[in-house]
Amino acid sequence: MLITTTEAIPGREFETLGLVTGTTVQTVNAIRDIGAGLKNLVGGEVKKYTELMTDARKISTDRMIQAAEAMGADAIICVRYSSASLMQGAAEALVYGTAVKLK
C-alpha cells in the first residue's frame, strides 16, 4: 500500500474511493507512569511515552490500511496524523487519509 501526505502521486492518475481512518487509545502501566512523573523533575525524553506513541501510530496506520484494502485501494493520499491526551497516561492516535485506486 502506497501511503503519502501529498495530494497526488506524480505521474499517476487515480480514482478517489473515500475517507479511511485508523485510531487507537493506548495507556502505559501505573509503574511506568510513576517513573515518567519522576522524569519531569530532571527533564529529558520520557522513553516509555515515546514508545507508547510510536506503537499507537503503527496500530492506527495498520487499521487505516486495512480499511483502505477493504475498499480495494492501491494507495492512500493526503495522510495526516493527530494525537490527544485523554487522561493521565493514556493517549489517542488518529490517522486519516483518502483511499484511491490507481489507474
- The reported pTM is 0.84
pLDDT per residue, tens digit, the chain (103 aa), is: 999 999 999 999 999 999 999 999 998 765 555 555 555 566 677 777 888 889 999 999 999 999 999 999 999 999 999 999 887 778 899 999 999 999 9
Complete domains list, the chain, with CATH: 2-102 (3.30.110.70)
The widest CA-to-CA distance across the chain, in whole angstroms, is 55
For the beta carbon of residue 37, count every other beta carbon within 10 angstroms.
Answer: 12
* Whether the Cβ atoms of residue 7 and residue 80 lie closer than 8 Å to each other: no
- Helix%, strand%, coil% for the chain, nearest 5: 35, 40, 25
